[in-house]
Amino acid sequence: MARIFVTGSTQGLGRLAAEALLADGHRVVAHARDAGRVDDLAARGADVVTGDLADLGQTRSVAEQVNRLGRMDAVIHNAGIMTGPTVLPVNVVAPYLLTALVDRPARLVYLSSGMHRGGRPELDGLDWSGARPTASYSDSKLLLTTLAAAVARRWPEVRTHAVDPGWVPTRMGGAGAPDDLRLGVLSQTWLATSEAPEARTTDGYWHHRHRVDRHPVAGDHDFQDRLLDALADHTGTPLP
């Protein structure tokens, strides 16, 4: 039985991951902006932490709440948004800050997207605060995929992966999304818990439990270091 923190567990892929992990007998730390949204998960035994991941102070508080519960075996960085000025804070800054502040787990999984391949490998001119929209969803997912690769390199003892869940019918994906929602949740729960040799690797980019290629810039050490420096500057919190 593992203890797994899932960000954004109110609906969509995060909720499905939390439900699947609970059904498999794992301990889950669910996350919502409003605890009432995950009452049913709490009733099934999940611990609950709260906070808006668009806000640096609330994100720090989420990390403190998680650390008070004890060390996690795995964290699934699932919460994400498609549009709006807070795409960078929610999709990139919050996963970075939680990675830096939550007591280091054995496994880390970041929800990327196939759309990261269309992202711009560019750090200049980005407004990390979210006051101005300076990045697309694709840009944010390329940065998140690079963050995952950077963490895998900095912390080789932590099994760290990024996942493309496919285009699936959630609020974000829309009702007409063509891929299978059931498959969309497989990789992240498997990477967080499985003892299979493939799941016990690191620095992978996965789609439906298969390793696939990611944008090559995610593996560029110079780009990784510049991204970590920019996020450390913005948050005032270096990656330990």
Ligand X SMILES: NC(=O)c1ccc[n+]([C@@H]2O[C@H](COP(=O)([O-])OP(=O)(O)OC[C@H]3O[C@@H](n4cnc5c(N)ncnc54)[C@H](OP(=O)(O)O)[C@@H]3O)[C@@H](O)[C@H]2O)c1
> How many chain residues bind ligand X (CB under 6 A)?
26
Q: For ligand X, which residue of 2, 5, 14, 20 counts as binding (CB under 6 A)?
A: 14
Instruction: List all residues 6 or more positions away from 67 whose beta carbon is below 8 Å from its beta carbon.
Output: 101, 102, 103
In the complex with ligand X, the residue whose CB is nearer, 12 or 219, is: 12
Q: Is residue 19 part of the contact set for ligand X (CB under 6 A)?
A: no
Q: For ligand X, which residue of 170, 193, 202, 224 counts as binding (CB under 6 A)?
A: 170
Q: For ligand X, which residue of 35, 172, 183, 232 counts as binding (CB under 6 A)?
A: 172
Q: Is residue 187 part of the contact set for ligand X (CB under 6 A)?
A: no
Burial class (CB in 10 A: 0-12, 13-18, 19+), 162: buried
**91 touches 126 (CB < 8 A):** no
Q: Is residue 66 part of the contact set for ligand X (CB under 6 A)?
A: no
Q: Is 110 a catalytic residue?
A: no
Q: Which amino acid is at 195?
A: E
Q: Is residue 145 part of the contact set for ligand X (CB under 6 A)?
A: no
Binding part of the chain for ligand X, among 98-106, 119-127, 171-179, 224-232 by CB under 6 A, reads 171-179
Query: What distance, in Å, lies between the first and last C-alpha atoms of the chain?
Result: 27
Q: For ligand X, which residue of 11, 61, 67, 201 counts as binding (CB under 6 A)?
A: 11
Q: How far apart are CA 209 and CA 49, in angstroms?
A: 28
